[in-house]
Chains A and B, each alone.
Chain A
Amino acid sequence: MSDLVEVKNLVRDFDVSAPWLNRVLERKPKAILQAVSNVSFNIARNSVYALVGESGSGKSTIGKIIVGLLPPTAGTIKIDGIDPAHEPDKAKIAAMQVGIQMIFQDPYASLNPRWKVGDIIAEPVTARGGKADGLAQKLLEQVGLSGADVNKYPHEFSGGQRQRICIARALAAEPKLIVCDEPTSALDVSVQAQVLNLMSDLREEFGLTYLFISHDLTIVQHMADTVGVLYLGRLIEEAPREALFADPKHPYTKMLLEAAPKLDGFGREVEPPKGEIPDPIHPPTGCAYHPRCPIAVDRCTKERPEMEQKGKGRVACFLAV
């Protein structure tokens, strides 16, 4: 069977120009921010694919495009073999789209405070005119809450419990793919473990596939089967988890792994990384990482490296071995 998700040459531009009148008056050119730049990757069925990268690298934008919240500027996305942009059968697209659910970072903002939890959870089903008798109770129990909680309101729950409610709602649609955007970064460590364990259990029980977006490498190392590393909208490395953490190939990935604080790093002296992420509206020429890269050569400043198979994964670096 083909992979569940196939993303090919995905591009997403945002127009971040000043309003046109100001632009004319101040003689400013149009400004385009390329949040996602020619990104290609596949997600295998029943696997966890993690997208990592620093703030502004395009993780959330890719997640939103995959669940259909944002249209791509260019490129294709196939889910279960269906490309929503080119599929003539509308019913097929609709069926595919309910099969993709998203869980957001902030479990407070994503639940309607005036709805009872039972109604929130059953909504993906009732919205399509489906029968939802007893569904919410069953799902609440599945995520470790009590079936009696259906009549409560979101504010009666803690952060971790609310994220479970979000997960229960996502499950109601019987999804194949769940896109999780920083699902635990608003949660405390002791509660984070509860949610991560739940996600692992559900994956086995329902054969779920996850796109797991996070900037926290320790969580990614725990959860992912495959890891994709983004820098300034570009995928710069992808490898199976073990290969990536044991033998990162891209200088940026190396820097990220080195810079991340380690729980057993007592007294560790880190050579602090150079520089900062450049302005995304005016990205560097060639390889976007070259101004910060310790091994960059002349070619890196002129030519953009493409992703190439190296070892167990793919990497976009002329100098990677």
Chain B
Amino acid sequence: MTVRREPATPVLTVEDLSITFTQRGAAPTRAVDRVSFEIGAGEVVGLVGESGCGKSVTALAVMGLLADRNVEIGGRIAYAGTELLGLPRKRMRDLRGADLAMIFQDPLSALNPVVPVGRQITEMLSRHRGLRGRDADAEAVQLLGRVGIPDPERRLKEYPHQMSGGMRQRAMIAMAVSCGPRLLIADEPTTALDVTIQAQVLELLKDLVETEGTALLMITHDLGVVAGLCDRVNVLYAGRVVEAAPRHELFGNPVHPYTTGLLRSIPRMDGDRGVPLNPIRGSVNDLVAWADGCAFAPRCDRYELECLAGTPAVTELPGVDHEHRCVNPPGTPAVVR
């Protein structure tokens, strides 16, 4: 019988996380600004946003993989109650791979090209589970089989370049789950893959989470992925969470214009091909500093002067688990000027 942890302690707690890059000779850039979220066991939380909004940096901070130099991290990151920020390096190294694991976007560059795939799995088994030689190989074969790689004994000796993209990502997943982590971070795990393979890989992740009760932080810019997988979604814009809600709530009742924009830009199978997708105009570079107002304002259809009156406060929708950072959300009466 397994003893369940107290359900009250989330696997991952991120609270007011701020990450600032301070390069010499350049103004400090705040890549992540007071981001908070939690992930419970067996839960899938999405971190969604356009390129450059701080998704990967957040993930790397959780993993303790940001360089020490030129980075300032504020706020709190806790894994099952253990504070990770300020944890001694050695302890963090023990946690990494064993308790926290990560899957990267491009499995070709994320795997070592000159080390057989099997070895890249077994090195982890020997590090965290003390498995060596035959035992480690057998376990690696088991793992490769489990992620749906055919003929795993043979694949064990292959190098990453000898595998297909989907195969590589499966191997990467096998590696990440090899030591039974309680938190898995997947940073755009399907972006580099073909559409059909994407679905398979997502299915695999979903399976793993359901059977193992792993907490999954799913990083993506694709709301389609979110719809199929996530229990909860955090929409990130320019380093801040602009909207957070359970999946159904978010898809059913999106409030922030950025979220609505993202939803409109999902290609639909049943959609009219004649109607163009409706991407958000402008780019992330059209930016207002959060301190001065809503960073999204320059690209927003509902932009009003008051959007630039300082950082928009968090608004909680009454009666539901749903918060956003929009000053002038749809449904509010037009502002009288």
A, B from the same assembly:
no
